Amino acid sequence: MANVTIDNVIKRYGSVQVMHGVSVDIEDGEFVVLVGPSGCGKSTLLRMLAGLEEISDGTISIGDRVVNDVLPKERDIAMVFQSYALYPHKTVYDNIGFPLKMAKRSQSEIDDKVTKAADILDLTKYLKRYPKELSGGQRQRVAMGRAIVRDPQVFLFDEPLSNLDAKLRVTMRIEIKELHQRLGTTIVYVTHDQIEAMTMADKIVVMRDGRVEQIGSPLDLYDNPDNVFVAGFIGSPSMNFVHGKIATEEGVRVFVSDSGLKLPLPETTARDGQEITYGIRPEHIQIGPGGVEMDVVVVEPTGSETQIFAKAGKDLIDALVKERINARPGSKLGFVINPADVHLFDRASEQRI
């Protein structure tokens, strides 16, 4: 086990710079998720950690050792690929035992470790099978088994669940989390799925365009997003954003959107007339009397909750409520917003105010 320090890492392909000084501190035993849209550099960062991509500038250390020029095989890491990368001509047993066999460990040790890993991952029944005879989830577990037997300092996961169907994904999510709790090894996990990030991580690193947007615990990111991007990326359904200005009307400070919608404001240092992006999460909106009146556009009941899309002028807002609401499109509903749940961002810089 080890901590990992990524310090001001830059990646260039020829003259094109794709990563602009990324720094992340990962503590020993932490489960860190790198999350962001495609092309944000999260996979590249992971591959640099693994030693599969060169680091153009900055340093990466595993433990106390700078590994910039250390070969992948000497970094003492294990990686689970999105594609699983199982050896198709080897049985499950041989797949899991291959790294040990190549390290010239004794047969009894290989036996011991493979059996143990198979036991942890519930693969004992399948040891004699070939990868093509396994389901997606089982293949995924074999790939993890191959990582476990080497007992590395750090596990790297590159979108390991994206090839699975939705139901299996939830199961595997729990299994990986459990595995982490059992082994206590540092894990760096890449995904584009913010739900995966929220449910599994001790610490989330949100990336965009080769930069770190924010680092924090899942709830920290949810409650206090640093900027519009993180606010919109974390949380599902994603946060409502309304553009407008701050004004004082009859002694009360309110937010007035570009199309004239008035919304309640929390205490803020923002000046009157300042251009603002106003954010409110759908699940923080209640439906009831005394709220902001809006026209219902679509109502989506899912049984456990109801999502309501409503419009006022050009502003579209959706609310997610526990109650069952029977509202016809075109009718009016009151949207109650608690000022404490509101996030305010500067419109130009998109940074939190």
Partner 1 sequence: MFPRPIEKAGPGARIGYQLLLPFVLIIWLLPLLAIFATSIRSGADINAGNVFGWPGEFAMIENYVAVFTRSQASMYFINSILITVPSVAISVSLACLAGYALAIYRFRVALPLFFLFVAGNFVPFQILMVPVRDMSVRVGLYDTIAGQFLFHAAFQTGFCTLFMRNFIKALPFDLIESARIEGVKEWRIFWFVVLPLVRPALAALAVLIFTFVWNDFFWANVLTQGESAKPITAGVRALNGQFVNNWHLVSAASLIAAIPPVIMFFLMQRHFIAGLTLGAVK
Q: Which residues of the shown chain bind partner 1 in the complex (CB under 8 A)?
A: 50-52, 71-75, 77-79, 81-89, 98-99, 102-103, 130-134, 136, 139, 146, 150, 163
- In the complex, the smallest distance separating the C-beta of residue 6 from partner 1, rounded to whole angstroms, is 18
Distance between CA atoms of residues 9 and 54, nearest Å: 11
- In the complex, the smallest distance separating the C-beta of residue 112 from partner 1, rounded to whole angstroms, is 18
- In the complex, the smallest distance separating the C-beta of residue 239 from partner 1, rounded to whole angstroms, is 34
Helix 92-102 crosses helix 107-120 at what angle (to 10 degrees)? 130
The DSSP element (H or E) to which 20 belongs, if any, is strand 16-26
Distance between CA atoms of residues 129 and 143, nearest Å: 14
Nearer residue to partner 1 within complex by CB, 36 or 51: 51
Nearer residue to partner 1 within complex by CB, 75 or 173: 75
- In the complex, the smallest distance separating the C-beta of residue 73 from partner 1, rounded to whole angstroms, is 4
Nearer residue to partner 1 within complex by CB, 128 or 332: 128
- In the complex, the smallest distance separating the C-beta of residue 140 from partner 1, rounded to whole angstroms, is 10
Q: What tokens appear for 292 in the block?
A: 């902001």
Nearer residue to partner 1 within complex by CB, 51 or 264: 51
| 3-class secondary structure per residue, 282-338 | HHHEEEEEEEEEEEEEEEEECCCCEEEEEEECCEEEEEEECCCCCCCCCCEEEEEEC
Nearer residue to partner 1 within complex by CB, 87 or 331: 87
- In the complex, the smallest distance separating the C-beta of residue 95 from partner 1, rounded to whole angstroms, is 10
Beta carbons of 227 and 345 less than 8 angstroms apart: yes
Nearer residue to partner 1 within complex by CB, 66 or 85: 85
Closest CA to 333 of 344, 342, 321, 345: 321
Closest CA to 98 of 49, 145, 52, 132: 145
Max CA separation in the chain (angstroms): 83
Closest CA to 127 of 143, 108, 114: 114
- In the complex, the smallest distance separating the C-beta of residue 79 from partner 1, rounded to whole angstroms, is 5
Beta carbons of 168 and 199 less than 8 angstroms apart: no
- In the complex, the smallest distance separating the C-beta of residue 349 from partner 1, rounded to whole angstroms, is 40
State which amino acid sits at residue 17: Q
Nearer residue to partner 1 within complex by CB, 84 or 222: 84
Residues 6+ apart with CB under 8 A from 49: 4, 6, 60, 62, 77, 154, 156, 188
- In the complex, the smallest distance separating the C-beta of residue 246 from partner 1, rounded to whole angstroms, is 52
Beta carbons of 253 and 266 less than 8 angstroms apart: no
Coil/strand/helix, residue 233: helix
Nearer residue to partner 1 within complex by CB, 131 or 235: 131
Nearer residue to partner 1 within complex by CB, 185 or 227: 185
Place of tokens 């991509």: 53
